[in-house]
Structure 1
Amino acid sequence: MSPAARVVSLVPSLTEAVAVTAPGLLVGATDWCSHPSDLDVVRIGGTKNPDVAAVIALRPDLVIANEEENRAPDLAELRAAGIEVLVTEVRTVDQAFGELDRVLRACGIPGRPRWLDEAEEAWAAVDASGPPLTAVVPIWRRPWMVLGRDTFAGDLLARLGVRQVYAAHPERYPRVPLDELRTAGADLVVLPDEPYRFTRDDGPEAFPGTAAALVSGRHLTWYGPSLAEAPQVLARELRAAHR
């Protein structure tokens, strides 16, 4: 793969990773790519419903995507138009570091950015030797959906000493009735502010008697520069809920 001069990102995490490392390389990103806040590129729709024609019109050398966040038919259409598409798979923290390296190399970025070294150092220093917590981790309501097996966010929480109740579920994001979630025996319910925007008034009230941690979805689910501060931010938010 030749180094790319024009890149379109279909993944918010990867958008931030490329934008802070090589400003000016990105020419397009999704409507959900909110970091960095001053990103000035063409917006090409959502991660699940990108305007494929708009992407093609930008004449990118490379489109970066993710097997979970983006739809295979959209990526196939881009490839059919002669565009190089790099598809990442990120289901663990270690895998995130490897895929970030691969993406940045494919973009022709020389060397290794300092933020990536800092992120690896931050996670290597995590001490999860205290008593483990069990948690239910909703990502949506109406219907209720939670983290199941084999997810990046689940691996990240496990490294912080939080075991999710549905980690062995056959589905990665199972739908579970609220009554079952309430009686799952969790010490904690972890409520991120994305993809569903859980707030103090919309989420904790569904779990009376269970401590609720409202956490940063960007630090829980994004794999990019936010990984460097994620251990500290999430540990603080989890501790505040389970005192």
Structure 2
Amino acid sequence: MRVVSLVPSLTEAVAVTLPGALVGATDWCTHPAGLDVVRIGGTKNPKTERILSLAPDLVIANEEENRAPDLDALRAAGVDVLVTEVRSVPQAFGELERVLRACGAGSRPRWLDEAEETWAALPQPGRRTTAVVPVWRRPWMVLGRDTFAGDVLARLGVDHVYAAHAERYPRVSRDDLLAAGPDLVVLPDEPYRFTADDGPEAFPGLPCALVSGRHLTWYGPSLAEAPRVLGRALRAARR
């Protein structure tokens, strides 16, 4: 089986489960470390001719991260394309199993069982916190309705303010974000790379949690440690 992945989460999942199956991945596929495959461009601008030159048996993609015209072009060229939809933690587990089986896995990998067990064993949060969760700056964009990252946070006791917004990633002015009066601002390091010097200064007087974007937005092997890693960052910000 020759697989090209257009999604960093899925790249990591396939690479650790089926060593040797991946022949191509995006420039943003940074895990596992040292992954040695052909790079085929970005998630939004993959080089379709390079993908075709790899003669893949399967291309794995995601309805949010990848553009339909690129996937249609691959299908038109005769390539089998599997597209995932992941908007909640339980959905992530099901889609990961589907992808891995399509890539040739004969059984469910242990890491996936462990990740699911970790999330199932989470205690009910004692105190819930409201937050705004920017994912981009210039312009400000935040988590809105029906997102995987929003579901991750909700299971950790954090309710993001724009969860009922009509858009999934609405543009909201900084003034409106401040006026929303959240308990906390959650700043991941991807897709926009918020840092201690780039982000918190925009929200004076509000505690800011700088969190790992991989643990907040990726649905792969990182799911097993995400509750611990994110929980630690959130607790530190709320103190």
What is the TM-score with the length of structure 1 in the denominator? 0.98
1:73 paired with 2:69, answer yes
1:219 paired with 2:215, answer yes
Write the letter of the residue equivalent to 2:116.
E
> Out of 228, 231, 235, which is 2:224 matched to?
228
User: Which residue matches 1:197?
Assistant: 193
Counterparts of 1:222 and 1:21, CA distance in 2 = 16
Counterparts of 2:117 and 2:227, CA distance in 1 = 11
User: Which residue matches 1:93?
Assistant: 89
User: Which residue matches 2:30?
Assistant: 34
Write the letter of the residue equivalent to 1:36.
P
User: How far did 1:103 drift?
Assistant: 0.1
Counterparts of 1:116 and 1:161, CA distance in 2 = 23
- Corresponding residue SS for 2:130: strand
Runs of 4+ in structure 1 deviating by more than 3 angstroms, as ranges, are none
User: How far did 1:126 drift?
Assistant: 1.1
Give the fraction of aligned pairs with identical amino acids, expressed as a percent: 79
User: How far did 1:152 drift?
Assistant: 0.2
Counterparts of 2:109 and 2:238, CA distance in 1 = 35
User: How far did 1:158 drift?
Assistant: 0.3
Identify unmatched segments of 5+ residues in structure 2: none
What is the TM-score with the length of structure 2 in the denominator? 0.99
User: How far did 1:140 drift?
Assistant: 0.3
Write the letter of the residue equivalent to 2:56.
P
Counterparts of 2:125 and 2:216, CA distance in 1 = 20
Identify unmatched segments of 5+ residues in structure 1: none
Aligned ranges 1:161-176 → 2 under 5 Å: 161-176=157-172
- Mean CA deviation greater in 127-136 or 144-153: 127-136
- Count matched residues: 239
> Out of 138, 142, 147, which is 2:143 matched to?
147
User: Which residue matches 1:16?
Assistant: 12
RMSD: 0.5
Counterparts of 2:145 and 2:78, CA distance in 1 = 35
Q: Deviations 1:90-132 (Å, cap 9, x if unpaired)?
A: 0000000000000000001111111101100110111233110
> Out of 178, 181, 195, which is 1:182 matched to?
178
